Structure 1
């Protein structure tokens, strides 16, 4: 029994140590890249598009068809020569047909179809890259959101301590008859409000962990110690020109435009004939003829003379689809440029906010100290103490938010360029 308890204690100690292992942003990104279910589902799109390429290529290869069966007729087929009627086949007979068809030349139709499929495959590959980058940005937001929430919890805890201390001071002064009961009630209400703020901050931490675990494909209950050091790739570089031409979504749409070009070429070839070759074997069991099996070879040309203007409509449809993709590409490039400019502005503003907040925190601490001293000396009011503590908490919250907003904004700059 003693051994069992010791083993259980050792296991719990191991689990506790594993729970407290440090976790970096880079590790979270690696987990998301390999374990996120939505991203893993998207990864199949490239393989699906590759099979579409193989389907298009199949037109270059011969096609072999086999047909066999047994036919039962009401009466045997016959010919009449004057008064003589002679059957030319049996009433019931098996048959077999084996053909090999191959397109010799189709004026580039198959080549255009294969090229379009290849571009669609490239579009799928680049779309996966864009989805991965979006996921990485969500991970960055969730990661730094947890760190910010932890800092807010610390600020809220400090506010609870300060407000509780103020409540005790108000209670002592009230017991001495120096202040009114209103001061004491106000202090008690502020303590309750600070505790509610702390609960909300703690809830934000838990919700942040649930989101981060979902994005990284880890169990919801897992927790770790997040590292605050930013990744080297997230270091601000907003002054240098940022190239957005390599972003996954832009490359995907460019590939889609190229696929549309090939679709237009394919639609045009429907006006042209097709040269084909055919080898065949026909067998019909018929004891009344000399040759029951016939082998043949054919080289021919087939062309559509009129299809109700379907070919014309398909060509117009392909042209409109290409124009649509081109407009979407221009719109996407404009939106990405806007996204980049906004992210760069947010980086600059967050940097400035950090400097302002750092100084404001020192001023807020000094302001709270002076205000508490004035209250204890019966010069200041309880309201001034409460306001000073609330202001300090808000200043600290603003500082933490600015610090992590800088990291997220910098990640958005990288995301806009497609190299997060």
Structure 2
């Protein structure tokens, strides 16, 4: 008997541990998330921003490369050679030597190797402005890369806000459909009892059962949409894909007023990072025109060098230093540099027109974002009133039905209208927040600035 009791106790303890472990897993798979936390996670894990950071690093390296052109070039070379002893026969004639009978030739030195080393340094003084303007161009391009990264950051934030409230809409739909389905299930039970007692027709029971089935299908679709949206949002935030997100929706009740359309257009042209980036690229193109024109000018440089030679038994040279100023000019640049200058000017002109084109695009973006937000505020008012009307309509229809003044179809239609109005109202609130943030993102500023 004691053994049986012990086994039962062990089984109960094991079940408790499983329940605790299961609750722990469930707790790990659910996370409460504010909008700001979602933005921080998306910025931290965005692959697009990591690419932007790499481009900024590349631009910084290009700038450093341009600055390095001001430094001297230093070349060091050396050579070691093994040589054989050549056969040399000097036949020099001289009257003095023949008469005296003395030989005039000298014995060749025994040379078996030769070594020499050379070091040269050249510091550019003037290169037609190529170095200075090249540095200026690289600075503008580096600034443009930083502004591109800033613009990408703003887009990532806006995408996160849109994804956040898309998930809210999916969860709100599940909640509302679930509540309506519970009401429908109770209605089916009531109609089943009334049908059994002969109080309603069989056809009315089938109608409420059909609505219950339709709501079950609607709930399946809503739950599926929520799971997909939740998975995609987890992936965007760098979270485990099985994490169920619980959203903080306190910001939905905020309906701030905004500036006039003209103010938004002016704000956008002053603050849009992509517009500033294009301006920086235009400045870089202007500097590149000067770089191309630099080919028309000569180059000056200060140079210095050292030479050392050692040929055993024959020649030794040490302390052979030299220094001076060099001038070089490629005459071919007089007729070859013109094409490069034209290319650089064409690039500058192209960027100027791109800037005008972007200016029009910014105005279009601002106008659309402004109208969308204005419309979203009006939709909230309309759907808020629609919810009140749908609830009142359902209450009146329910009273009429209870007093045999309305049909079952009327009651079910009123119930569906109430559900749809509730879903539309929740969607409108979420869309208004997204549109509000989109307006600020289109202007290139953060909310509240």
Match status 1:149 vs 2:149: no
What SS is found at the alignment partner of 1:321?
helix
TM-score, normalised on structure 1?
0.87
Q: Which residue of 2 aligns with 1:298?
A: 324
Q: Which residue of 2 aligns with 1:259?
A: 284
What SS is found at the alignment partner of 2:311?
coil
Q: Deviations over 1:310-329 (max 9, x none)?
A: 52222222112212222222
More off after superposition, 347-356 vs 73-82? 73-82
Cα pair distance change 1:36/1:290, threshold 3 Å: closer
**Mapped partners of 2:89, 2:365: distance in 1:** 82
- Pair member with larger Rg: 2
Q: Which residue of 1 aligns with 2:218?
A: 197
TM-score, normalised on structure 2?
0.81
More off after superposition, 276-285 vs 302-311? 302-311
Q: Which residue of 2 aligns with 1:270?
A: 295
**Mapped partners of 1:79, 1:419: distance in 2:** 91
**Mapped partners of 1:3, 1:165: distance in 2:** 39
Q: Which residue of 2 aligns with 1:280?
A: 305
More off after superposition, 125-134 vs 168-177? 168-177
Q: Deviations over 1:275-333 (max 9, x none)?
A: 01221223344343453774322311111111695522222221122122222222222
Q: Which runs of 5+ in 2 are unaligned?
A: 1-9, 94-104
**Mapped partners of 1:4, 1:78: distance in 2:** 105
Match status 1:45 vs 2:55: yes
1:190–1:386 Cα contact (<8 Å) kept:
yes
Q: Which runs of 5+ in 1 are unaligned?
A: none
**Mapped partners of 1:308, 1:199: distance in 2:** 76
Q: Deviations over 1:138-159 (max 9, x none)?
A: 1101111122222111221122
**Mapped partners of 1:89, 1:348: distance in 2:** 100
1:76–1:87 Cα contact (<8 Å) kept:
no
> Which one of the candidate residues 253, 258, 274 is aligned to 1:237?
258
The Cα shift of 1:220 comes to: 2.2
Q: Which residue of 1 aligns with 2:359?
A: 333
Cα pair distance change 1:32/1:259, threshold 3 Å: same
The Cα shift of 1:134 comes to: 0.5
Match status 1:214 vs 2:235: yes
- State the number of aligned residues: 420
Cα pair distance change 1:231/1:60, threshold 3 Å: farther
Over the residues paired in the alignment, what is the CA RMSD in angstroms? 3.6
1:25–1:231 Cα contact (<8 Å) kept:
no
**Mapped partners of 1:204, 1:366: distance in 2:** 30
